[in-house]
Structure 1
Amino acid sequence: MSIWWSLHLRREAASVPLARRLLIGTMETAGVHPDISFDLSVALTEACANAVEHAGTATGYSVTAQIDGDRCRIEVADSGPGLPRDRFRHPSRHAPHRGQYAEHGRGLILIEALVDHVHFHDRPGHGTVVAFDKVLKWRDDVLLNAS
Structure 2
Amino acid sequence: MSIWWSLQLRREAASVPLARRLLIGAMESAGVDADISHELSVALTEACANAVQHGGGRSQVFQVTASMLGDTCRIEVTDGGPGFPEGAAIPFTEPPELLPCGRGLRLIEALSDRVRIGNQPGSGGAVVTFDKTLKWREGAALLQAS
TM-score by length of 2: 0.89
Instruction: Measure, in 2, the Cα distance between the counterparts of 1:83 and 1:112.
Output: 16
- 8 A Cα contact 1:95 1:106, kept in partner: no
Q: 1:140 is matched with which residue: 134, 138, 146?
A: 138
Q: How does 1:97-116 map to 2 (within 5 A)?
A: 97=97, 105-116=102-113
Gaps of 5+ in 2: none
Instruction: Measure, in 1, the Cα distance between the counterparts of 2:94 and 2:16.
Output: 24
Quickly say closer, same or farther: Cα 1:61–1:134, change in 2 above 3 A.
Answer: same
Structure-2 residue corresponding to 1:42: 42
- 8 A Cα contact 1:5 1:64, kept in partner: yes
- 8 A Cα contact 1:121 1:129, kept in partner: yes
C-alpha deviation, 1:125, in angstroms: 4.3
Instruction: Measure, in 2, the Cα distance between the counterparts of 1:84 and 1:126.
Output: 11
TM-score by length of 1: 0.88
Q: Which runs of 4+ in 1 moved over 6 A?
A: none
Structure-2 residue corresponding to 1:130: 128
Q: 2:118 is matched with which residue: 106, 117, 121?
A: 121
C-alpha deviation, 1:94, in angstroms: 3.4
User: How many pairs does the alignment contain?
Assistant: 143
Instruction: Give the root-mean-square deviation of aligned CA atoms.
Output: 1.9
Structure-1 residue corresponding to 2:12: 12
C-alpha deviation, 1:122, in angstroms: 1.8
User: Per-residue displacement from partner, 1:28-63 (whole Å, max 9, x unpaired)?
Assistant: 000000010011101100100000000122200000
Q: How does 1:17-96 map to 2 (within 5 A)?
A: 17-57=17-57, 58-86=59-87, 88-90=88-90, 92-96=92-96
Q: Which amino acid aligns with 1:137?
A: K
Gaps of 5+ in 1: none
Using the aligned pairs only, state the percent identity: 61
- 8 A Cα contact 1:3 1:67, kept in partner: yes
